[in-house]
Structure 1
Amino acid sequence: MDEKRGLLPDPLISSNGRQVTTVEDWRVFRRSEIIELYRENVYGREPIGRPDSMQFDVVLEEVAFDGKALRKQIDIVFSGQGGEGRVRVLLYIPIRETKVPAFIYAAIKSQRVFDVDLEECSDFWPAEDIVSRGYAAVVFHVEDLDPDFCDEGYQNGVHGVFDSTDQPRSADAWGAMSAWAWGASRVMDYLESDPLIDSQRVAIVGYSRSGKACLWAGAVDERFAFVISNNSGCSGAAISRGKTGERLVNINRGNPHWFNDNYKKFNDREDELPIDQHLLLSLIAPRLLYVASASEDKWADPESELLGLFLAQPVYLLHGHSGLGMDKMPPVNSPIHSERLGYHLRAGKHDITRYDWKCYMDFADKQL
């Protein structure tokens, strides 16, 4: 499956050649090393974790779905030297006697979820379907963290709130992807405080560009029990070396604000990367991980997305969990669900659909 991909870094061999043979070695040495490589070369360094100033403002709380759920809007408010920031979070929570697990969806530009009828967003965020399966449906908009347009000065969003103005921006400073991932963790902060939510069973779901960000969020924030990449493609789940469709040069020139400046050094030089995306996926082990592709999504390159998942398996095996049990692309609409890993190739184009959500919830029903 990987014969044409060239030499890929081994998730279980450190940069100095040390072989990782135990879970302790993985956690103490290799995992932290991989995170540092991504911060230096891809995602950048966020200047702050959970802000001391952060608070949760209840904007709305009412019964929904004929009394079957509670609808809430929470504004996560924080401040820094550059002013104040705000992330809106919408929740539909099944009314149960016990706490419920949750799916967080990171909505992207053009996916309106606030101040619209639910039917308008049900294809990409089927809240009523999610609630009917016993999960809380949670959504935030990545543009609340960074408005997703090229701004060389990074004066908007959380960058404007928290970045230092006393010195020039460094080549490893955080970009939009890290800002969006940082926002996902702030949503998780809120869910930990909500008495209706089982914060030990929370999934984070991203599609396309937010799928890239959610993988990084799931890699560095181990509170997410289940991480889902939907059509995340280049710099998401897909292996960069030998990839068809979108490549690093396309991303870095078309969306230079997404990643740090160091990443641009590898345009048309993917073989020189000290990492590749299977290492990102391996950081999620031993938690639940699901990658989904679409048969017509050539720009994302489904084969490279599956390869990224396939090559992360050794770390799951190290933790004592089974792999996918297959080494080639499955037929369309035929999900592969193993103990901790899931994959499907949906028929159709670049999108997130109710079919995708059904597959994620089917997997969660068994494993989460």
Structure 2
Amino acid sequence: MRVFVGVFLAVAVTLTANAQKIPVNYDETKIPAYTLPDPLLVKGKRISTKTAWEKEGRPAVLKMFAEEVYGINPFPPSIKIATEVRGINENALGGKAISKQVTLRFPEISPNLALHVLLYLPKNAQKVPAFVSLNFTGNHTTTKEQDIFVTENWVNAGFDKSYTNNRATEASRGIAERRWPMEAIVARGYAVATAYYGDLEPDHAEGWKTGLRSVLTPEQRDKWGALGVWAWSMSRMVDYLIQNETQIDKNKIIGVGHSRIGKATLWAGAEDPRFAIVVSNDSGEGGAALARRWIGETVEHLNTQFPHWFCANYKKYNKAVSDLPVDQHALLGLMAPRPLYVASATEDTWADPKGEFMSALEAQNVYSLYKKTGLGTEKMPLPNTSIGQTIGYHIREGKHDILIYDWEQYMNFADKHFKIK
């Protein structure tokens, strides 16, 4: 266990949005000393080998995160999926790619649930790696291509003024294109699959009523949150790719997510080892950042503003974060020995970039069991500098976002680990 004390000066402010009046701190000197729980100490027993980690340590840590943070998935690992190919464009992206629009349904769960997947594949390439990610605003917003269906589901009107009564319109086509450099990804030889994160649970407190959790008992709903549903969605996308898309290398699937979807991506990567690489982009509190650091967003902020994201148990720690049996470095450790990339942004102080870096640094302890080098340094890099070996990290200049610079680092990282020249 390691005790940390804040040492760098910043600015302390108070959050008043939504009349919450929950204190916000940006001053490193005001962070109380804290001790991180040791993921390699399970029931008083020291885990010192990868065999012991996989048999005892990892299951115990995963169970704690499920019970206390993200929730317990109530469904069996094997789910029947009915697929409907709604559209194929053999000359997408100006003839550089093939696009497919596929709807996934889950008849054993509900006849009404549907996950709509947009897939871009490089032309004339076989056994390609694939990025799997959810989007915030509908598949049609990730590109200006006119054949992509506009989502009919509830959307957060706060994301763009083009939405009317929480419904997307043609005017919203391509509004998130800057976050989805499809042509650049395909040109590098990668496929990319995305789906709207609100397909299986709209992102508001009552969203469960029309989503996947509507089929659960109240007790099951309390034990599983929206982030769990979104992680589940990503795994069902992997199911589809492995079972149906022979052009994709099933051993080279990369989970990537930004912000709240970054949180869900980390949980998906923890639960589902088929993600060969896991990427967290500005995931912050409840994602890659250490919860025990009282700086920027806190557990209390999360559970107050977004009470539907996590399981009910997580609210116990609103004012008692030190009682959490885990912290986010242990979540990152659950990815071992798979490559992991964590990214921050200089102006994204709400997400605590330093806390994200420190979490990645602490995850090294688990990676060491596999004789893997994580970041390879204890020094936070300068902006726009990618570092690391099995664990990668960068802090990009700018705001809370995912941009071409970020994607380029993720592709470089995947090239290295997949040995792509």
What is the TM-score with the length of structure 1 in the denominator?
A: 0.93
* CA distance in 1: counterparts of 2:412 and 2:210, whole angstroms: 39
* CA distance in 2: counterparts of 1:315 and 1:258, whole angstroms: 27
Tell me what 1:123 maps to. Answer: 178
* CA distance in 1: counterparts of 2:221 and 2:318, whole angstroms: 15
Q: What is the aligned counterpart of 2:257 among 206, 210, 223?
A: 206
The answer to whether the aligner puts 1:137 opposite 2:164 as a matched pair is no
- 1:84-135 Cα shifts (integer Å, max 9, x gaps): 2100110110123421111112112478335479854331111111000000
Query: What is the Cα deviation at residue 72 of structure 1?
Result: 0.5
Tell me what 1:346 maps to. Answer: 396
* SS of residue paired to 2:129: strand
Tell me what 1:285 maps to. Answer: 336
Structure 1 pair 10–50 and aligned structure 2 pair: CA distance change class (3 A):
closer
* CA distance in 2: counterparts of 1:53 and 1:26, whole angstroms: 31
Deviates more, 1:219-228 or 1:93-102: 93-102
Tell me what 2:346 maps to. Answer: 295
* SS of residue paired to 2:45: coil
* CA distance in 2: counterparts of 1:273 and 1:176, whole angstroms: 20
The answer to whether the aligner puts 1:33 opposite 2:60 as a matched pair is yes
Tell me what 2:320 maps to. Answer: 269
* SS of residue paired to 2:356: helix
Alignment of 1:327-342 (within 5 A): 327-338=378-389, 340-342=390-392
Query: What is the Cα deviation at residue 82 of structure 1?
Result: 5.0
Tell me what 1:155 maps to. Answer: 209
* SS of residue paired to 1:155: helix
Structure 1 residues not aligned, in runs of 5+: none
Tell me what 2:71 maps to. Answer: 44
Alignment of 1:62-101 (within 5 A): 62-63=89-90, 64-80=92-108, 83-101=111-129
- 1:43-67 Cα shifts (integer Å, max 9, x gaps): 1112113564421111111212343
Is the CA contact (8 Å cut-off) linking 1:43 and 1:174 kept in structure 2?
yes
Is the CA contact (8 Å cut-off) linking 2:317 and 2:324 kept in structure 1?
yes
Structure 1: which amino acid aligns with 2:321? Answer: E
Structure 1 pair 171–90 and aligned structure 2 pair: CA distance change class (3 A):
closer
Structure 2: which amino acid aligns with 1:33? Answer: A
Query: What is the Cα deviation at residue 212 of structure 1?
Result: 0.3
Is the CA contact (8 Å cut-off) linking 2:125 and 2:189 kept in structure 1?
no
Deviates more, 1:135-144 or 1:113-122: 113-122
* CA distance in 2: counterparts of 1:260 and 1:12, whole angstroms: 24
Tell me what 2:13 maps to. Answer: none
* SS of residue paired to 1:65: helix
Query: What is the Cα deviation at residue 366 of structure 1?
Result: 1.1
Structure 1 pair 96–337 and aligned structure 2 pair: CA distance change class (3 A):
farther
Identical positions, percent? 43
Alignment of 1:206-245 (within 5 A): 206-245=257-296
Is the CA contact (8 Å cut-off) linking 2:118 and 2:193 kept in structure 1?
yes
Tell me what 2:409 maps to. Answer: 359
Tell me what 2:155 maps to. Answer: none
* CA distance in 2: counterparts of 1:216 and 1:351, whole angstroms: 20
Structure 2: which amino acid aligns with 1:100? Answer: V
- 1:254-312 Cα shifts (integer Å, max 9, x gaps): 00000011000000211110000111100000001000000011100100011111111
After superposition, the CA RMSD in angstroms is 1.9
Query: What is the Cα deviation at residue 81 of structure 1?
Result: 5.5
Structure 1: which amino acid aligns with 2:71? Answer: G
Query: What is the Cα deviation at residue 238 of structure 1?
Result: 0.3
Is the CA contact (8 Å cut-off) linking 1:106 and 1:206 kept in structure 2?
yes
The structure with the largest alpha-carbon Rg is 2
Structure 1 pair 346–97 and aligned structure 2 pair: CA distance change class (3 A):
closer
Is the CA contact (8 Å cut-off) linking 1:50 and 1:186 kept in structure 2?
no
* CA distance in 2: counterparts of 1:309 and 1:45, whole angstroms: 25
* CA distance in 2: counterparts of 1:52 and 1:123, whole angstroms: 34
Number of positions where the alignment pairs a residue of Structure 1 with one of Structure 2: 361
Deviates more, 1:101-110 or 1:260-269: 101-110
